[in-house]
Structure 1
Amino acid sequence: MKEAIWKSIAGFVKVSKYPFLPCPYCGAESLSLDARSLHVRPLPDSYKEIASRHFRDLKSEKLKSLSETGEVVKDVFETQPLLGFLIGLGAVAAELQADIENMAQSIAFFQCGGCEASVSAVGLAKVYTARTGEQHKQETEVKFEYFTPSIPMIPLSEHLPREIKIELLDAFKHYHFDPPSAASKLRRAIEKFCQSQGAKGTNLHRQIDSLKATLPLEAQYLEALKLVGNEGTHSNGVDEGDLLLAFKVIQYVLEFFDRKKRFEETTPDYEKIQEKFNSQLIGRDPVKA
């Protein structure tokens, strides 16, 4: 899993800088944003705060920045009124000179450079209006919160049971706009893994514990993942960084299915070796041989 890709799109990204993503159809890392397909429309102010966690975060950051600037001006003004007044004028001037930012809704398509299939994306856009007298303006930035179909954040093997894959794709989908829900979906994927291995117990903790005899390392990893899932289900203390770590851990756990498949495929070869060379040991001392 390439963490850098997902970290880079956790917030707003300039359209021209949007990275290539893994294609949900062919798996190639060649899914690119088609800038020509991007459309933006105004989003009512009354809906922005309710609609997006990312808008709320941006608003909090801006209020914090203004508050810090105000405190600095206040402190200077109390000791040096003229200097404080000039600093305040400078802050206002900088605000007036900055491009005007408008939050909008956005929709676009991504296209795979390999299989040429498409993925639709919906989210928010920061659209800038140029300053008075200026011909150039800042580039539009986007934060996509929904991808259809969901984009896999870790490789999903063909040997992975369908029920686990469904839960993981839901977890990847929620990652972009609701981390706690993504963690809850991750917990369901853990439950499906335990069920696929015939785990025993009336709750997830006991089911994981029952796997320790046969899958000790996987069980150890699942215990940690369960904590992330519990936090997402019962609280809001999970963020994108926590999920990226969890996805890396579950990627190792799910490689179990590939290892199991390789074992099944090589078992006939192993048995042929055993049969041929064990027959040659008949009558010999197996220790000396």
Structure 2
Amino acid sequence: MKDMNEGYVQNLAPQFFMPELPLMQSFGGCPQQVQERIEAASPILWVDPSSAANRLRSAIEALMDHEGIPRRWSTNGKKYDINLHKRIERFKKEKKDFAKVADLLLAVKWIGNVGSHGSVIRIHDVLDAIEILDRVIQQLYDTSAAMTEKKAEDIIARKGMPASHITELPPPPF
């Protein structure tokens, strides 16, 4: 490295973090199996982004399990596996209110597929998948907005009085 006055600057790139950096700040009411798989991607992200992407794909499998989308079906006594893509399509069909969530899940699945099949995947790609998966979890399991709205309704009903000072709320005047 030359002196900075000569025009050279040393750039450092992290290769490992101990303890690992969390990939998400909040999981809301996210199922434990999904959360564990996402957290399993964190310690390996910087050393093996493809494996981290694969773990995110596994998180989607766990999410589909939690949402009741089967992994197998049977007909005439034969059992057939349902691939993740078909499971996400079924989720989209059965849970029409979450059609956009299904599209987000497909994006993460594709990144996970690339990581699973030995192709080179960049850390940036995995971080994109995390950002998308974070949005999925917010839409499916985060109840903080509803809880905040409920708190506001309670405060309005109490007319700002602390809840500990009110034994019974009077009926509304209308």
TM-score range, shorter chain: 0.5 to 0.7
What does residue 205 of structure 1 align with?
A: 85
Map of 1:15-94 to 2, 5 A cutoff?
A: none
What does residue 141 of structure 2 align with?
A: 257
Fraction of identical pairs, as percent? 25
Query: In 1, Cα distance between the equivalents of 2:45 and 2:103?
Result: 24
Query: In 2, Cα distance between the equivalents of 1:186 and 1:177?
Result: 15
Say whether 1:238 aligns with 2:118: no
Give 1 or 2 for the bigger CA radius of gyration: 1
Say whether 1:222 aligns with 2:102: no
Query: In 2, Cα distance between the equivalents of 1:237 and 1:141?
Result: 22
1:75-126 alpha-carbon deviations (Å, 9 max, x no partner): xxxxxxxxxxxxxxxxxxxxxxx57xxxxxxxxxxxxxxxxxxxxxxxxxxx
Map of 1:154-165 to 2, 5 A cutoff?
A: 154-165=24-35
Decide whether aligned partners of structure 1 residues 143 and 159 sit closer, same or farther in structure 2, where only a CA change above 3 A counts.
Answer: same
CA shift for structure 1 position 203? 1.9
Contact 2:51–2:115, Cα closer than 8 Å, also in 1 = yes
Query: In 2, Cα distance between the equivalents of 1:251 and 1:140?
Result: 30
Map of 1:96-107 to 2, 5 A cutoff?
A: 98=1
Q: Secondary structure, in 3 states, of the residue corresponding to 1:211? A: helix
CA shift for structure 1 position 158? 4.1
Map of 1:173-192 to 2, 5 A cutoff?
A: 173-192=43-62
Q: Secondary structure, in 3 states, of the residue corresponding to 1:145? A: coil
Opposite residue 188 of structure 1, the aligned amino acid is S
What does residue 74 of structure 2 align with?
A: none
Higher relative contact order (CA closer than 8 Å, sequence separation 6+)? 2
Query: In 1, Cα distance between the equivalents of 2:13 and 2:101?
Result: 38
**CA RMSD between the two structures:** 3.0
Opposite residue 119 of structure 2, the aligned amino acid is N
Range moving further from structure 2, 203-212 or 152-161? 152-161
Query: In 2, Cα distance between the equivalents of 1:222 and 1:183?
Result: 13
Query: In 2, Cα distance between the equivalents of 1:229 and 1:212?
Result: 19
1:112-160 alpha-carbon deviations (Å, 9 max, x no partner): xxxxxxxxxxxxxxxxxxxxxxxxxx99967341423x32122232422
Q: Which runs of 5+ in 2 are unaligned?
A: 3-8, 72-81, 154-170
Contact 1:159–1:257, Cα closer than 8 Å, also in 2 = yes
Decide whether aligned partners of structure 1 residues 207 and 258 sit closer, same or farther in structure 2, where only a CA change above 3 A counts.
Answer: same
What does residue 22 of structure 2 align with?
A: 152
Which of the pair is proportionally richer in strand? 1
Query: In 1, Cα distance between the equivalents of 2:11 and 2:107?
Result: 40
What is the TM-score normalised by the length of structure 1? 0.40
What is the TM-score normalised by the length of structure 2? 0.65
Decide whether aligned partners of structure 1 residues 141 and 240 sit closer, same or farther in structure 2, where only a CA change above 3 A counts.
Answer: closer
